[in-house]
Structure 1
Amino acid sequence: MGSFKGHVLPGTLFLLVGVWHIWSSMVRYVKNPKGFRVRVWNPVPGFDGRLKYTELYVVAIGAFIDMCIELLYSTHLKFFVNGVLNPSHMNDFEHSGMLLMFFIFGVVALLSEKTRFLPLPEGALCLIVATAFSAEYLLFYFHSTNHKGLEGYYHLLLVILIGLCILSTVFGALAPTSFPVDLSSGIAITLQGLWFYQTAFTLYGPMMPDGCMLKGNTISCRSMDNQVRGELLANCQFFGLVLGVIAFALGLYKAAASRYGHSELRSFHAAENGFVRD
């Protein structure tokens, strides 16, 4: 079982990173379409390079803070009961393990970029973040907290989005010059962040479907019809977010092309589509 804050915090982190990834991917492409390369993280320009690694710090520090909340605050430091892991807080331990993977990615990426101790190629960083998403996927798929009914359906849709994050980052290592792959990664991360928000507002906020309610630590519906209507509502919310993010991405691309577009961008598109004549 989760909570409103427990979904909004990771949702905010994913949303910030995802939107920044979409914008940065587009800017890099329109500036130099022929030399485009996939990046698993994107530097923040300006201020004499002092903000360059902001994204990696957000990932590492955000994951660390969330991990401390799950492992230290939520468990009240009661890690063991009768010599075994406290069964009342298994979900907190699982969440901590998932967040640890993103924290490791942030630290490894910082070491790779800022020091000479761990010089890793971009493809290797793609595979590391894909491992973090895989840990998240396994957590929500084999959760010790049995997500059933309407709650289970929302988490099933979340698992689908996490799977898309895994695929896009793996393909980023396999196709390091593909703009669609890099853009897809940003879109998938953004959708995951938005779906965390949607889950928080629907299951733990004011958007609970009619006939369903939060009782203690479980979400129950009065009848199967109420549950089905709730699941259909989830489908509408899901596709609405997908369409919204795609429209948002198209708007960003237009803005990026207008502001940063290379003079050869249009001819490059024409050549890719076979419209250039010898």
Structure 2
Amino acid sequence: MGSFKGHALPGSFLFIMGVWWSTKSILKYVCKKQKRTCYLGSKALFRWIEILEGIILVLMALTGMLGEQFISGGPYLILYKEGQWNQLIRWHHCTMYFFFGLLGVANILCFTISSLPVSLPKLMFSNALFVETFIFQNHTHGREMLDVFVHQLLALISFLAGLLVFIEFFTRNNVLLELLRSSLILLQGSWFWQVGFVLYPPSGSPAWDLTDHDNIMFLTICFCWHYALAYIIIGVNYAFVTWFVKSRLRRLCSSEIGLLKNAEREHESEEEM
């Protein structure tokens, strides 16, 4: 993560997953509210979606860990070298990715093995976010004021998101909690990008003064703008998913019901013959 690309990668991962988690929560809620009988609202489809989501999370975590270890002179899995610790910052990042990978493994196992509790991924999700909070809170010793500030905001976001997921562990199918958590994941993803622009400006961009208090004042406002953007994205997403389920899927559900009725009629005619 000691580069712009290193912050853009986890930012992109979190932003994509934030959009997806909000979409999934809205889709479940709208399908349940509309009482759709088509395959889109079935438990079997959502089960396969959860397994696919787990595989994607594992792949994302492996990509981050391998990038930290083997790209741009990484530690190459050597923790202690020549009498001193070897690139502990990168090991911090790998640990964060590892716990999100465990979330993906929990998703895969819980929706493949029926004996495991379905709420286990929620517990692993909150653990991953709390570990991320702990890492970022102890990630910036001896750094400049602005560097510490932007990482403290990341720690705040991940702690609040972890707290919400932990509450979800006890209260199932609360769409407001799920969307609030998704908004914090979106905020975290976009803020990773902002941290990349602040600490490692792309080539040609002016460097930020890490000791200027006015920059902290601006980033405080900018943080709120990022959060407003997360809510706008979720609002647009909710409007689109609701429109899609109500209008576009009406034909699909009707056609499925028609096929079922035709099959029943054919079965009755065969019995009469």
Category of TM-score, reference length = shorter chain: 0.7 to 0.9
Instruction: Report the alpha carbon displacement of residue 13 of structure 1 after superposing the two structures with TM.
Output: 0.8
Instruction: Report the alpha carbon displacement of residue 180 of structure 1 after superposing the two structures with TM.
Output: 0.6
Are 1:243 and 2:228 an aligned pair?
yes
The amino acid of 1:142's aligned partner reads: N
- Of residues 227, 230, 235, the one that matches 2:215 is 230
Partner of 1:57: 55
The amino acid of 2:68's aligned partner reads: E
Distance 1:170 1:236, change over 3 A: same
Distance 1:57 1:32, change over 3 A: same
The answer on whether the counterparts of 1:175 and 1:181 sit within 8 Å (CA) in structure 2 is: no
- Scaled by the length of structure 1, the TM-score of the pair is 0.76
What is the rounded CA distance, in whole Å, between the counterparts of 1:175 and 1:78 in structure 2?
42
Aligned residues: 238
The answer on whether the counterparts of 1:102 and 1:129 sit within 8 Å (CA) in structure 2 is: yes
- Of residues 99, 103, 106, the one that matches 1:105 is 103
Alignment of 1:87-98 (within 5 A): 89-98=87-96
The amino acid of 1:111's aligned partner reads: L
Instruction: Report the alpha carbon displacement of residue 144 of structure 1 after superposing the two structures with TM.
Output: 6.1
Deviations 1:233-260 (A, max 9, x none): 1112111111112122122212222222
- Of residues 177, 182, 186, the one that matches 1:181 is 177
Between Structure 1 and Structure 2, the one with more helix by share is 2
Structure 2 unaligned residues grouped into runs of 5+? 36-42, 248-273
In angstroms, what is the RMSD of aligned CA positions? Answer: 3.0
The answer on whether the counterparts of 1:98 and 1:132 sit within 8 Å (CA) in structure 2 is: yes
Instruction: Report the alpha carbon displacement of residue 50 of structure 1 after superposing the two structures with TM.
Output: 7.5
Deviates more, 1:203-212 or 1:1-10: 203-212
Distance 1:33 1:208, change over 3 A: farther
Any idea what SS the aligned residue of 1:75 has?
coil
Partner of 2:261: none
What is the rounded CA distance, in whole Å, between the counterparts of 1:130 and 1:261 in structure 2?
33
> Higher Cα Rg: structure 1 or 2?
2
Instruction: Report the alpha carbon displacement of residue 93 of structure 1 after superposing the two structures with TM.
Output: 1.3
Alignment of 1:1-278 (within 5 A): 2-33=2-33, 53-73=51-71, 74-83=74-83, 85-86=85-86, 89-115=87-113, 119-143=115-139, 145-205=141-201, 212-213=208-209, 220-221=210-211, 227-261=212-246
What is the rounded CA distance, in whole Å, between the counterparts of 1:44 and 1:23 in structure 2?
18
Any idea what SS the aligned residue of 2:139 has?
coil
What is the rounded CA distance, in whole Å, between the counterparts of 1:22 and 1:15 in structure 2?
11
What is the rounded CA distance, in whole Å, between the counterparts of 2:203 and 2:170 in structure 1?
41
What is the rounded CA distance, in whole Å, between the counterparts of 2:3 and 2:202 in structure 1?
13
The answer on whether the counterparts of 2:22 and 2:234 sit within 8 Å (CA) in structure 1 is: yes
The amino acid of 1:228's aligned partner reads: H
What is the rounded CA distance, in whole Å, between the counterparts of 1:65 and 1:210 in structure 2?
30
Deviations 1:93-120 (A, max 9, x none): 121112111112211221221245xx43
What is the rounded CA distance, in whole Å, between the counterparts of 1:189 and 1:135 in structure 2?
15
Instruction: Report the alpha carbon displacement of residue 161 of structure 1 after superposing the two structures with TM.
Output: 0.8
What is the rounded CA distance, in whole Å, between the counterparts of 2:141 and 2:33 in structure 1?
46
Identity, in percent, stands at 24
- Scaled by the length of structure 2, the TM-score of the pair is 0.77
Deviations 1:103-156 (A, max 9, x none): 12211221221245xx43332221111001111110000126544311111111
Partner of 2:258: none
The answer on whether the counterparts of 2:51 and 2:112 sit within 8 Å (CA) in structure 1 is: no
The answer on whether the counterparts of 1:7 and 1:196 sit within 8 Å (CA) in structure 2 is: yes
Distance 1:235 1:109, change over 3 A: same
Structure 1 unaligned residues grouped into runs of 5+? 36-42, 214-219, 222-226, 263-278
